[in-house]
Amino acid sequence: MTDKSKLGFYLLLMPLMLWLITLIILPHIGLFMVSISEKIGVRQYETGLGNYAVFFNEPLYWRTFARTAFMSIFTTVLTLVLGFPVAYYIAKLTRGRTKTTLFLMCLIPFWVSELVRTFGWMILLRETGVLSNFLQYTGVIGGPVEFLYNDGAIMVGLVYTSILFMIVPLVTTLDSLDDSLIEAGYDLGGSDYSIMREIVIPHAMPGIVSGCIVVFMLSLGNYLTPILLGGKDSLWFTGLIYTQFITRFNWELGSAFGFLLLALSSSIVFIGLKLSRQSLTETMGR
């Protein structure tokens, strides 16, 4: 490389580096510094890992942490189960205009903000809401039923919010699967099940894994949906972080929680990749 092209390379790299350093790396360094300072009195702090110790000593915190992780994993599985047939139908069973229309219909709900979509679910699910009234009208239930303020409502909201991020990568990978491979499978006497298992799913694996990673991250880091749709027992870890920062003025503990969440999500994604025998470069590079 000549000196001139080197300069050009660094100049092109500048915006990316600036963005990475000022908006991601520096804030994380700051957050980490805050997370290892323990408050011992008014305007008095000392360095230590006390905030992390609080997390492990208080059952509420790590239980909420585990709960959030499990519910996010469940959301991811549910989104995959619901999203795969939709993606398969769009990618393999439709052509031309129908395909574009169907794909667009998946996108349309995302033209409004997440807040509006969540309020929509609240109107549907609340005790005096659409679903409860409809069921009473048809005589399925006798009196008003509350569908809101429970874990089920959170799941519905999370799946709805993130399903697009599952469908898009799945459609892309399924599109790239040559139909003649499926036909050959049938010619060789394969059943629907064996073709799905031997041909379609292995081919779609990178799409499945990248979709799962995105959906899992979105669910784990979601704040709005669990807070608005969840009830008095439905704690979510991001809600705890907000509480520590805003209502308790305890930035030190909040920062520690933030780092623990980062570590948790990274390690679950790592384990997921290992279990599915995929590598990050392969899934993200496609």
What residues line the site for another protein (CB under 8 A)?
18, 21-22, 25-26, 29, 42-43, 58-60, 63-64, 126-128, 146, 148-149, 227, 231-233, 235, 243, 245-251
User: Which CB sits closer to another protein, 150 or 276?
Assistant: 150
Cα 181 to chain centroid distance, Å, stands at 32
Closest distance of CB 250 from another protein, Å = 7
Residues 249 and 47: their CA atoms lie apart, in Å, by: 18
CB of 233 to another protein, least distance (A): 7
Q: Considering beta carbons, is residue 41 or 96 the nearer one to another protein? A: 41
Q: Which is nearer to another protein, 17 or 81 (CB)?
A: 17
- Report, in Å, the least distance between residue 4 CB and another protein: 24
* Alpha-carbon radius of gyration of the chain: 24
Residue 37 Cβ vs another protein, minimum distance, rounded to whole Å? 14
Could you tell me the smallest distance in angstroms from the CB atom of residue 21 to another protein? 5
Measured from the CB of residue 110, what is the shortest distance to another protein in angstroms? 25
Task: Let me know: does 240 contact 61? Beta carbons within 8 Å.
Answer: yes
Whose Cβ is closer to another protein: residue 6's or residue 248's? 248
Distance in Å, CB of 162 to another protein, minimum: 23
Block residue for tokens 């939709």: 86
Comparison of 58 and 198: residue with beta carbon closer to another protein: 58
| Residue keyed to tokens 């697009």 | 164
Backbone torsion region of residue 174, taken as left when φ is above 0, otherwise alpha when ψ lies between -120 and 50, otherwise beta: alpha
Give least dist CB 238 to another protein, A: 14
Residue 166 dihedral angles phi and psi, to the nearest 5°: -90, -40
113 conformational bin, left if phi > 0, alpha if psi -120 to 50, beta if neither:
beta
The contacts of residue 279 (CB under 8 Å, 6+ apart) are 273
Between 18 and 77, whose beta carbon lies closer to another protein? 18
Gap between the Cα atoms of 97 and 105, Å rounded: 12
Q: Where are the alpha helices (DSSP H) in the chain?
A: 3-19, 26-35, 50-57, 59-88, 96-107, 114-125, 130-137, 151-175, 179-187, 192-195, 201-220, 224-229, 237-242, 251-275, 280-285
- Tokens 């379609």 identify what position? 200
The residue (of 148 and 213) whose beta carbon lies closer to another protein is: 148
Q: Which is nearer to another protein, 23 or 112 (CB)?
A: 23
In single-letter form, the type of residue at position 145 comes to: V
